[in-house]
Amino acid sequence: MYWKSLIACSLLSTAWPGAYALAGGPVNTTSGLVKGQASRLRPAVSEYLGIRYAKPAKGELRFTAPEPVDRSPGIFNATEFSPDCPCNRVPMNNSYLGGEIGQKITVALSQQNNVLDEDCLSINVWTKPETGENKKAVLFWIYGGGFSIGSANSPVYDGSILADENDVVVVSFNYRLNIFGFSGAPGQPANVGLLDQRLALEWTRDNIERFGGDPSRITVFGQSAGGMSTDILAFSYPDDPIAHALIAHSGVASARVGVSSNATEIRNTWYNVSQSMGCGGANAGEETVTCMRTKSHDELLAAIEDRGSSLLGGFTPYGDGVVLPKDIAAEAEAGNFAKIPFLTGNTEYEAGFFFIVAIANSNITTLEELDAIPWDMIRPLGNLLTRIAFTCPAADAAGFRRQHGVPSWRYRYYGGNYTNTYIHPVGSDYHTADMLPLFGTAPAVTGVDDSAFEAEAAAYMRDAWATFAKSPTSGLTDKFGWPTFNPLRRSLVQLSLDQQTEASFTFNWRTDALCDAIVGLSDIAGDISGLFGGIGDRSRLEGLLKRSEELAPLLALLEDSQ
């Protein structure tokens, strides 16, 4: 009887309309037969969670390139997210200082209640195949977190609303982080976290039609490190990106922070950690790998934290010349990247997020202490960080595309002073703030409904992203009148500016005028983002204020050009 049922389910899954008589009906994938469920947010949407796309990267597979998972002989119950890939979670000790809304948002992003395990390489799908196109455009999501934290399992990134309202299939997945994804281990492939991303994309190409998606219309979109990963894809696979379009939010491959060009630096970081764990240093060479594989993931994370960098740890992608080019900017100038449509942009005050995290993990415990900090002096420094790390690189990335005849668009998200995305004291235009309206999840995360103008602006944004996914070459221009990127024309797309519900357009020079002048100040970006360690550190705060005084003329120019 069991085998008859299994065969029937398998047959159903080859013709998707029958498979979806009930939400979450069985689908036959290369990982095996999977059964999902109705989405909690949108019951008409089928969600499939935690489908393995790679073997658990444990034991001898730790630090190696991912291997496709073997097909499971039974039915996989795809109703729960897999564990997160191991990382040092962002502490949220004082998240209440951000207000009730701010606390809910930061906790939703913090992973504090998520299980960690190296059996984490899984994929999630949201689809509504009974309506709309028979083969829908696909949005393939890559989360951020500095390549050191993050997970697909966040209520912020639930794909149900996009799938329900915009006739697209949404996919998300986990990839390895920190030392597990970017170890620099001797004798091992570099950037295996990026290889995880590629394998997940290949799985999507090979299976998404069975979920009602179109494998020829996959748009990769990601934020922060996910935005960088999205852009990196074009340079790593110029002849076979799989994707037909890219959306890079708040991060691009040519940014001067987040990706290292120094393999020796990454390797030395590996040896420093291996030495601290009793596995030997540089003299031990590849023997360090054998020893490090005997340690638990908790022991590895503790060793990184003990080095004084509890989050980033020094393990990031680096240009190995195989997975990742050694010089992205040179490749971009030469046009050595996939020539597919490109949408990029960032928020008005990206740096606010760094302050939020710093506050949540500081020795500040009261609002009085928090409000006593001279934010009027710190905000200009945050604007400088936003320019160096996000605004100017986005202009460069769009410019490279324009230079080589690739359709590209550029946006800026202003936050709209939305009450259900506002975090005290930085506002609603911080790094990651745009993800809440894009996924439509602010009400579910905070318990506070969108205002009327916020709901309309968010729906407009989702419609624009879905339109780009469906018709990336011309959809944004034909349907919404968005001009392609031109540094000399009014082509910067402004979203959620005050109470506007649709896009407006302005000149790019309003945000880019000083990019050439600050191109060499990436060290300052590192100093400012060092606030991650805790704004409550008095000496660090005093150092920032001193730097603010030193840079006062430049900061004044930046403020004038906002």
How far apart CA 127 and CA 442 sit, in angstroms, is 20
Residues 6+ apart with CB under 8 A from 126: 39, 45, 46, 47, 48, 158, 159, 160, 162, 163, 169, 170, 171
Instruction: Give yes or no for a cis peptide into 407 (omega within 30° of 0).
Output: no
In sequence order, the 6+-apart residues with CB closer than 8 A to the CB of 537 are 362, 363
pLDDT at 524 over 80: no
Cα dihedral: 380, 382, 387, 388 (round 10): 120
| Structural domains of the chain, with CATH | 2-517 (3.40.50.1820)
For the segment 303-316, the average pLDDT, to the nearest whole number, is 69
- 75-77: strand order across its sheet: 27-29, 32-35, 75-77
pLDDT band at 263 (very low <50, low <70, confident <90, very high): confident
Q: Is 80 exceeded by the pLDDT of residue 536?
A: no
Contact present, 120 and 90 (Cβ < 8 Å): no
Q: Sign of the CA dihedral 262, 263, 267, 269? A: positive
Nearest Cα to Cα of residue 398 among 449, 332, 456, 454: 332
As given in the structure block, the two tokens for residue 71 are: 């097909």
Taking all residues of the chain, what is their mean pLDDT, rounded to a whole number? 89
pLDDT tens by residue, 15-71: 344 445 578 999 999 999 999 999 999 999 999 999 999 999 999 999 999 999 999
Whether residue 346 contacts residue 281, with contact meaning beta carbons closer than 8 Å, is answered with: no
Residue 202 has pLDDT above 50, yes or no: yes
On whether the CB atoms of residues 436 and 105 are closer than 8 A, the answer is yes
Question: Does residue 127 carry a pLDDT above 90?
Answer: yes
Helix (H, G, I), strand (E, B) or coil at 109: helix
pLDDT in tens, 139-157: 999 999 999 999 999 999 9
pLDDT of residue 399 exceeding 50, the answer is yes
Query: Residues 171-209, buried b or exposed e (16+ Cβ, 10 A)?
Result: bbbbbbbbbbbbbbbbeebbbbbbbbbbbbbebbbebbb
